[in-house]
Structure 1
Amino acid sequence: MADGTTGIAARLDGDLKDAMRAGDTLRRDAIRRARSSLKNAEIEARTPLDDDAAVRVLRGIVKQHRESIEQFRAGGRDDLVSREEQEMAVLEAYLPAQMDAAAIEAVVADVIASEGAAGPADMGRVMKAVMGRVGGTADGKEVRVIVQRLLGGDR
């Protein structure tokens, strides 16, 4: 990442140094794991990652933390839940702000109108268009729920 360092990667590098100086082991460990995942993604892609790709990698790590939190809660391991939540919070600081439900609903309604979608059969087309517009600023599960409700396909 030295030559093709993206903005996010550069921020991670600087923040890692700060965390090490401050003795913040939780932050240090979370950032090290994120940097490692970014480096692995670069190796896989055989090219330096741009910020959009870096955000996708970080979102994947955050998603893994959410899944771990659910599993640890189910297993009664509150000590591990706390650690996962703290590490997830460190990484979420590097991600763009998430849209709220009202903003997502406005985008979905606009897409439904522009696509001429009429019912649940159009869900795939609407989802693709909405996700293209909102990019990484909305959770796909939340978008799906709103699309289902507005297309009349909610359970």
Structure 2
Amino acid sequence: MSLLERLNNDMKQAMKNKDKDKLSVIRMVKASLQNEAIKVKKDGLSEDEEMTVLSRELKQRKDSLQEFKAAGRDDLADKTQGEIEIIQQYMPEQLGEEKLLAIVNETIAEVGASTKADMGKVMAAIMPKVKGKADGGLVNKLVQQQLS
């Protein structure tokens, strides 16, 4: 089942259950997917492109969550946390830190990196491998640890 089909089914279910929060998030995600399809001038997006859009939506909400917490806006922070949890249901299973560390070490060996100056090369090689399956900040932290 494609992501769009899952979103449509879940949207119908959210309407039946009168779950306004979930319905709102699903509609926002669908709109983002449709906007991206229009932007790239295609009828449908590939799975990779869908994951890019989902990752972007998730990152925006995580950034907002930090801002709301810093400003002491617990009401908005709680709402945003709920949105994050809903979006994560559509993301692929996240890689554990051990698997991620193995991928980081493998990529460092492939690229032949040895210093922090090679960080850009390693990140460029590793991100397509873990797209949607790992947080970019965690990947960055692990790469820095391995290169230092």
**Is 1:37 aligned to 2:32, yes or no?**
yes
The residue number in structure 2 matching 1:8 is 3
**Is 1:129 aligned to 2:125, yes or no?**
yes
Counterpart Cα distance in 2 of 1:56 and 1:62: 10
**Is 1:28 aligned to 2:18, yes or no?**
no
The residue number in structure 1 matching 2:142 is 146
Q: Give identity over the alignment, percent.
A: 37
3-state DSSP of counterpart to 2:72: coil
Offset of residue 43 of structure 1:
1.1
**Is 1:58 aligned to 2:86, yes or no?**
no
Larger deviation, residues 109-118 vs 33-42: 109-118
Structure 2 unaligned residues grouped into runs of 5+: none
The runs of 4+ residues in structure 1 deviating greater than 6 Å are: none
Please, what TM-score do these two structures have when normalized by structure 2? Answer: 0.93
Counterpart Cα distance in 1 of 2:75 and 2:33: 27
Larger deviation, residues 13-22 vs 119-128: 119-128
Counterpart Cα distance in 2 of 1:35 and 1:132: 23
The residue number in structure 2 matching 1:3 is none
The residue number in structure 2 matching 1:86 is 82
Structure 1 unaligned residues grouped into runs of 5+: 1-5
**Is 1:49 aligned to 2:45, yes or no?**
yes
The code of the aligned residue for 2:52 comes to R
Offset of residue 38 of structure 1:
0.9
Please, what TM-score do these two structures have when normalized by structure 1? Answer: 0.89
Offset of residue 119 of structure 1:
1.2
Counterpart Cα distance in 2 of 1:32 and 1:132: 27
Offset of residue 138 of structure 1:
1.4
**Is 1:119 aligned to 2:131, yes or no?**
no
Which of 88, 91, 104 pairs up with 1:95? Answer: 91
After superposition, the C-alpha distances for 1:3-58 in whole angstroms (9 at most, x for unaligned) are xxx80011001100000011111111110111111111111111021222111111
3-state DSSP of counterpart to 1:136: coil
The code of the aligned residue for 1:16 comes to M
